[in-house]
């Protein structure tokens, strides 16, 4: 077993949470028991993932999408929200949420994890949210046609990929990635002189505008593009705390959005 605060302090430093002006808190959302043996990982703190964490007898849960967001404001702990919060408190489970810091991390972040699975190299920080990066950009090992790249991305993500392209027979080499709901990030990719841009969601107007601006834009699902960060963070913690014999589990969730 390991002390809760040791993990919290390590992750807060490793993910550099102080350098992000985020949409909500990073780090502890709910403080549970002091000693940790079993940790559950999930993309989001949903009712489903929380129930699975309880079944696993988790002492801690680490997610990308936590429970508290600035845009929700103050929320009473009742109804569907209460059915997320109360079981964590009742079972003394610590909930940690890491949003933009986990998107942007250059080694195990959501964007970097997708990039590495696509065989991208020379990764650099990419995107900007109030002065902090939100993703990565890099170079493919060799140029690839748009349709072939979309097929490869779909296989990596195990998800249908939307494409906005002015020429699907064109080849791409340089790519920017901001996972999740960064619909307008293609504008930054265009400004940086990149060939293509990947995120999770695509709005109707961005489909038109990216195509008209001669940018190849791929959207592979919000959940699908953000499932690798927590998985790679889990692997990182396994290696760091191997001697502690922690039990670590990833909880997948069927979310096509």
pLDDT in tens, 138-163: 999 999 999 999 999 999 999 999 99
| Domains of the chain (ranges, CATH numbers) | 2-99+226-250 (3.40.1390.30), 103-225 (3.40.1390.30)
**Threshold 0.75, pTM exceeds:** yes
Q: Which residue has the tokens 């986990």?
A: 102
The helix-helix angle for 79-90 and 47-55 (nearest 10°) equals 20
pLDDT tens profile 44-98: 999 999 999 999 999 999 999 999 999 999 999 999 999 999 999 999 999 999 9
Residues 6+ apart with CB under 8 A from 4: 31, 32, 33, 34, 35, 36, 59, 60, 94
Q: How far apart are CA 133 and CA 46, in angstroms?
A: 26
Question: In whole angstroms, how far apart are CA 110 and each of 27, 107, 117, 120, 126?
Answer: 17, 9, 11, 14, 12
49-58 residues labelled b (16+ CB within 10 A) or e (exposed): bbebbbebeb
pLDDT tens profile 177-208: 999 999 999 999 999 999 999 999 999 999 99
pLDDT band at 219 (very low <50, low <70, confident <90, very high): very high
- Give the pLDDT confidence score for residue 237 in this predicted structure: 98
């Amino acid at each position: 077993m390991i002390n809760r605060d040791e993990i919290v302090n390590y992750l807060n430093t490793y993910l550099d949470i102080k350098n992000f002006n985020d949409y909500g808190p990073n780090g502890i959302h709910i403080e549970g028991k002091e000693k940790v043996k079993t940790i559950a990982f999930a993309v989001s703190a949903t009712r489903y993932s929380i129930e699975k964490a309880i079944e696993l007898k988790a002492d801690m849960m680490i997610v990308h999408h936590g429970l508290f967001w600035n845009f929700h404001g103050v929320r009473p702990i009742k109804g569907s929200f209460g059915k997320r919060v109360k079981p964590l408190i009742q079972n003394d489970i610590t909930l940690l949420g890491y949003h933009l810091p986990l998107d942007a991390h250059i080694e195990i972040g959501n964007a970097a994890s997708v990039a590495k699975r696509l065989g991208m190299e020379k990764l650099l920080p990419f995107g900007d949210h109030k002065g902090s990066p939100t993703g990565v950009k890099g170079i493919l090992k060799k140029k690839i046609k748009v349709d072939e790249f979309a097929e490869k991305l779909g296989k990596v993500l195990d998800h249908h990929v939307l494409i906005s392209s002015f020429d699907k027979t064109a080849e791409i080499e340089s790519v920017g990635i901001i996972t999740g709901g960064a619909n307008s990030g293609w504008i930054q990719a265009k400004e940086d002189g990149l060939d293509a841009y990947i995120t999770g969601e695509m709005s109707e107007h961005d489909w038109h505008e990216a195509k008209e601006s001669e940018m190849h834009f791929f959207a592979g699902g919000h959940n699908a593009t953000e499932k690798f960060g927590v998985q790679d963070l889990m692997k990182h913690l396994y290696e760091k705390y191997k001697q502690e014999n922690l039990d670590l589990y990833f909880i997948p969730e069927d979310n096509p959005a």
